[in-house]
C-alpha cells in the first residue's frame, strides 16, 4: 500500500483544474503498477523465448555445453520431409478447427438464433446451444481419451455401431491406418471446436438490427438471402476473431495428437508442436526442436499480423 504515493502524488489542495488531476502527477507514478507483470513477463516469456532462439542455433542434447552451429538446424529443417509433412498436417487441422467450424457455426448459429429462437422460443435455442457447446468445456486430453476409445479398431464404439447397422465393411482402424488417421483426428477436432463459433456468432447476431432483417423479409428475400446479405456481414468482426483464434489454436495443437495418435502411425498425424516435443524430450535433439518451435512462432505471429491488418483495412473502408 505504501509503494505508489511516495512517487508523485499531486496535492489534492492544489487547484489543477486545467490539467486533469489524475494525469497531472505524471505518468511515472503508474509505472510501479506494471512491475509485477513486467517481471513475470520477463522471467516466463521474454527470457525463455530468447533462450529458445539461442538454443536453435546450437547442437545440444540438453546436458553438457551446447555447440554453436549457426543456422545449420534451420538448413536441415527446411530439407526435412518430416518437418514439411507436419506443416501439411497442420493445414488439415486449420481446416478442421477454423474453416469448417466457422462455416458450420454460421449456419447453426443463424438457424438457432433467427429460426428456432424466434419460432420455438429462446429456451429451446439456448438448450440446443448448450449441447453443441459442451465439448468445448472438456479438457482436450479428456476429449482425446473419449475418442481414442470410440475409434479403437477392436471393441471401439464406432466400429461396433457400424457392425450393428450392417455396415461392418466400413469398419476401419480409424487412428491406426496412415491413410485415414489424419481425417479421424480432423473429425474429432470439428466435434471439439464447433460450439465456440456457434456461441460467439449467436452473441454477435443480437447486435444485428432486426429492422434490417424485417426489411429484407418484406422485400421478399429468402432465408438464405437474408443470411448472406444481412446476418453474415453484420457479424463480420466475430467471424474474423473466430478465424484468427481458431487458426492459431490449430497451429498449436498438441493435446489431441499426444492422446489420440502420438503423431503416428508412421508420422501420418505429426504436427510441428508434437514434432518439437519429440525432439526436445524423446530424441534429445534440443537444438533442432528449438528451431521447429521458432519457425512455428514466426508463422503464428505472421498469421496474427496478417489477420489484424485485414481486419483494420475492412474497418477503414
Partner 1 sequence: MATVHARREPGRYLVLIGLVALAGLMLVPFAIVVLNAVKAPADYAANGPLSLPQEVRIQGIVDFWQRVDFGRKLVNSALIAGSVAVLAVVVSVLNAYALGIGRIKGRLWVLVLFLIANTLPQEALVYPLYYLFKQVDLYDTRLGVVIVFTIVQAAFGTYLLSSTFVAFPREILEAARIDGANKWQVLVRIVVPISRPTLGVLFVFFFIWTWNEFFIPLVLLVSADNQTVPVALGVLQGQRLMDATTTSASALLGIIPAVAFFLIFQRTLTRGLTAGAVK
Closest distance between partner 1 and the C-beta of residue 182, in Å?
A: 19
Closest distance between partner 1 and the C-beta of residue 94, in Å?
A: 14
Which is nearer to partner 1, 142 or 167 (by Cβ)?
142
Q: Which residues contact 94 (CB under 8 A, 6 or more apart)?
A: 246, 247, 250, 251
Closest distance between partner 1 and the C-beta of residue 203, in Å?
A: 4
Which is nearer to partner 1, 71 or 107 (by Cβ)?
107
Q: 197-216: b or e for each residue (b if 16 or more CB lie within 10 Å)?
A: bbbbbbebbeebeeeebeeb
Q: Which residues contact 70 (CB under 8 A, 6 or more apart)?
A: 57
> Is 105 exposed, middle or buried, given 0-12, 13-18 or 19+ CB atoms closer than 10 A?
buried
The position carrying cell 508412421 is 266
Which is nearer to partner 1, 212 or 304 (by Cβ)?
304
What is the biggest distance separating any 2 CA atoms in the chain, rounded to whole angstroms? 87
C-alpha 87/C-alpha 51 separation (Å) is: 24
Closest distance between partner 1 and the C-beta of residue 75, in Å?
A: 20
Which is nearer to partner 1, 121 or 178 (by Cβ)?
121
Which is nearer to partner 1, 214 or 229 (by Cβ)?
214
Closest distance between partner 1 and the C-beta of residue 151, in Å?
A: 10
Amino acid at each position: 500500500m505504501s509503494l505508489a504515493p511516495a512517487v508523485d502524488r499531486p496535492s489534492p489542495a492544489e487547484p489543477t483544474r486545467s490539467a486533469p488531476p489524475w494525469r497531472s502527477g505524471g505518468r511515472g507514478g503508474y509505472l510501479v503498477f506494471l512491475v509485477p507483470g513486467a517481471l513475470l513477463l520477463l522471467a516466463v516469456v521474454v527470457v525463455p523465448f530468447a533462450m529458445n532462439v539461442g538454443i536453435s542455433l546450437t547442437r545440444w542434447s540438453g546436458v553438457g555445453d551446447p555447440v554453436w552451429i549457426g543456422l545449420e538446424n534451420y538448413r536441415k529443417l527446411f530439407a526435412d520431409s518430416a518437418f514439411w509433412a507436419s506443416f501439411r498436417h497442420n493445414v488439415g487441422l486449420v481446416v478442421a478447427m477454423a474453416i469448417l467450424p466457422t462455416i458450420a457455426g454460421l449456419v447453426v448459429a443463424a438457424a438457432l438464433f433467427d429460426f428456432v429462437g424466434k419460432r420455438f422460443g429462446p429456451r429451446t435455442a439456448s438448450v440446443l446451444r448448450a449441447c453443441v457447446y459442451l465439448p468445448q468445456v472438456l479438457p482436450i486430453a479428456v476429449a482425446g481419451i473419449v475418442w481414442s476409445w470410440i475409434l479403437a479398431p477392436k471393441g471401439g464404439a464406432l466400429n461396433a455401431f457400424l457392425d450393428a447397422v450392417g455396415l461392418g465393411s466400413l469398419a476401419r482402424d480409424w487412428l491406426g491406418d496412415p491413410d485415414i488417421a489424419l481425417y479421424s483426428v480432423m473429425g474429432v477436432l470439428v466435434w471439439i471446436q464447433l460450439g465456440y463459433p456457434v456461441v460467439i456468432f449467436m452473441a454477435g447476431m443480437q447486435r444485428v438490427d432486426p429492422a434490417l432483417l424485417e426489411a429484407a423479409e418484406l422485400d421478399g428475400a429468402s432465408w438464405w438471402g437474408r443470411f448472406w446479405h444481412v446476418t453474415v456481414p453484420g457479424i463480420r468482426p466475430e467471424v474474423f476473431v473466430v478465424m484468427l483464434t481458431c487458426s492459431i489454436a490449430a497451429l498449436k495443437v498438441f493435446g489431441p495428437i499426444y492422446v489420440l495418435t502420438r503423431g503416428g502411425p508412421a508420422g501420418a498425424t505429426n504436427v510441428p508442436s508434437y514434432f518439437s516435443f519429440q525432439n526436445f524430450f524423446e530424441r534429445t535433439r534440443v537444438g533442432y526442436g528449438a528451431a521447429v518451435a521458432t519457425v512455428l512462432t514466426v508463422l503464428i505471429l505472421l498469421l496474427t499480423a496478417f489477420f489484424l491488418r485485414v481486419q483494420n483495412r475492412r474497418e477503414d473502408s
